[in-house]
């Protein structure tokens, strides 16, 4: 049996697991966010150390039998902390263990393509696009933060919904069913009260991002304003995806898989429909797919791939089932 260790570290939570090529999980640890762009380096490093220590305590025999480790960590490469993370792993493992430190977007891609080349469009509170070409070149577009970019993110969609609501209230824009839905969500009676509700939140950006689901609901109910917001997001996603494609190499005539990952894509069918309309008009070579496992599963796939182990046919089902039950 081959044991590998995978870590998914991001701005919301951190998950670490030890698993095998069949998808069986032998140790698992969930903890808080681990993005060094939003915390001091010592605190970040402590979280990574705690993950490894917890896995070791849960199953010491399997922990010390691990052959490969793959960590997909948000913010690490931007902050230049790869060596620091590598040194933490080295406290537990010798030179015989393969250790890979990557951007968390990489494991999000692997969660859909199972380790093969492709592009991933991530859209949660923020948004980023990441591509891996056939010759292993990588490219990244977007992800510059909500003050600069994050087009199509939950926050961006939520802001545009709020703008539509206040414009409708003023008479500067058409009526939209978004008004009723968002007022109910916020527990207020009218639009002026909405302003205080949003500004008084401890984390207003996250709160605004949570409103994006009402835009999807309203678009499905044929609200033209909501539909326009979603269509705009899809056009922005295609721009970012195209930028990644042009920076990487692909086989001629290849249809490139694009993984749609993140809370914005809860209604996968809606986005697939609207994105497909755009690429049909532009004759672009994409096929949109949903993730097959969670991002930490993508990390496990990356670890297995590094040591040339093939996934068993049971991997996807068993890994997903065991990750839920731990």
- Are 81 and 160 found together in one domain? no
Please tell me whether residues 129 and 72 are part of one structural domain. no
Please indicate, yes or no, whether residues 268 and 127 belong to a single structural domain of this protein: yes
- What mean pLDDT is predicted for residues 28-39? 87
Instruction: Please report which confidence band the pLDDT of residue 77 belongs to, taking 50, 70 and 90 as the band edges.
Output: confident
Asked if 78 and 106 sit in the same domain, the reply is yes
Q: What is the mean pLDDT of residues 290-303?
A: 97
pLDDT over 90 (residue 35): no
Helix 268-282, helix 224-246: angle, nearest 10: 60
pLDDT in tens, 150-198: 899 999 999 999 999 999 999 999 999 999 999 999 999 999 999 999 9
Query: Looking at the predicted structure, is the pLDDT value of residue 326 above 60?
Result: no
Angle at 252 between CA 247 and CA 255, to 5 degrees: 80
Cβ atoms 140, 105 nearer than 8 A = yes
Are both 180 and 285 inside the same structural domain? yes
Q: What is the pLDDT of residue 95?
A: 85
The dihedral formed by the CA atoms of 9, 15, 19 and 22, expressed in degrees to the nearest 10: -90
- Residue 122 has what pLDDT? 95
pLDDT of residue 324: 77
pLDDT greater than 80 at residue 11: no
Based on the domain organization, do 251 and 133 belong to the same domain?
yes
CA dist 249 and 279 (Å) reads 19
When pLDDT is averaged across residues 44-72 and rounded to a whole number, the result is: 96
The pLDDT value given to residue 207: 93
The number of folded domains in the chain is 2
Average pLDDT over residues 2-9: 96
- Provide the residue range defining the domain that includes 172: 115-291
pLDDT in tens, 98-153: 999 998 999 999 999 999 999 999 999 889 999 999 999 999 999 888 888 889 99
- The whole model's pTM is what? 0.91
**pLDDT for res 94:** 84
Query: Could you tell me if 127 and 242 lie in one domain?
Result: yes
Exposed, middle or buried, 296 (CB in 10 Å: 0-12/13-18/19+)?
A: buried
Same domain, 316 and 262: no
pLDDT value, residue 325: 64
Residue-wise pLDDT for 237-289, tens only, equals 999 999 999 999 999 999 999 999 999 999 999 999 999 999 999 999 999 99
Q: How many CB atoms lie within 10 A of CB 270?
A: 17
Shared domain for 96 and 208, answered yes or no, is no
Q: How far apart are CA 74 and CA 8, in angstroms?
A: 8
What span, in angstroms and rounded, lies between the C-alpha atoms of 58 and 78? Answer: 32
272 in the same domain as 182: yes
Q: Assign residue 187 the CATH number of its domain.
A: 3.30.420.40
Please give the average per-residue pLDDT across 51-58, as a whole number.
Answer: 97
């Amino acid at each position: 049996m081959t044991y590998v260790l995978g870590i998914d570290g991001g701005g919301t939570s951190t998950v670490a697991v030890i698993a095998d090529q069949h998808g069986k999980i032998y140790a698992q640890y969930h903890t808080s966010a681990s993005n060094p762009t939003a915390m001091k380096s010592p605190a970040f490093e402590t979280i990574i150390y705690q993950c490894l220590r917890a896995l070791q305590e849960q199953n010491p025999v399997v922990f010390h039998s691990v052959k490969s480790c793959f960590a997909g960590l948000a913010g690490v490469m931007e902050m230049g902390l790869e060596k620091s993370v590598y040194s933490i792993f080295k406290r537990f493992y010798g030179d015989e263990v393969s250790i890979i430190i990557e951007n968390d977007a990489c494991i999000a891609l692997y969660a859909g393509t199972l380790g093969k080349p492709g592009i991933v469009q991530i859209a949660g509170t923020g948004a980023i696009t990441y591509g891996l070409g056939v010759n292993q070149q990588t490219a990244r577009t977007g992800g510059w933060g909500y003050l600069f970019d994050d087009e199509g993110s939950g926050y961006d969609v939520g802001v545009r919904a709020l703008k539509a609501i206040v414009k409708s209230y003023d008479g500067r824009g058409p009526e939209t069913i978004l008004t009723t839905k968002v007022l109910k969500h916020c527990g207020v009676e009218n639009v002026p009260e909405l302003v205080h509700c949003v500004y008084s939140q401890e984390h207003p950006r996250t709160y605004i991002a949570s409103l994006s689901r009402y835009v999807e609901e309203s678009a499905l109910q044929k609200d033209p304003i909501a539909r326009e917001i979603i269509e705009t997001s899809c056009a922005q996603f295609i721009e970012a995806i195209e930028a990644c494609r042009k920076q990487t190499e692909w086989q001629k005539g290849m249809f490139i898989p694009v993984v749609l990952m993140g809370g914005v894509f809860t209604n996968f069918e809606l986005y697939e429909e609207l994105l497909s309309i755009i690429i049909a008009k532009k004759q672009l070579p994409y096929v949109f797919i949903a993730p097959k496992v969670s991002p930490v599963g993508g990390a496990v796939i990356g670890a297995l791939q590094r040591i040339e182990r093939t996934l068993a046919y049971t991997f996807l089902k068993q890994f997903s089932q065991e990750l839920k039950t731990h």
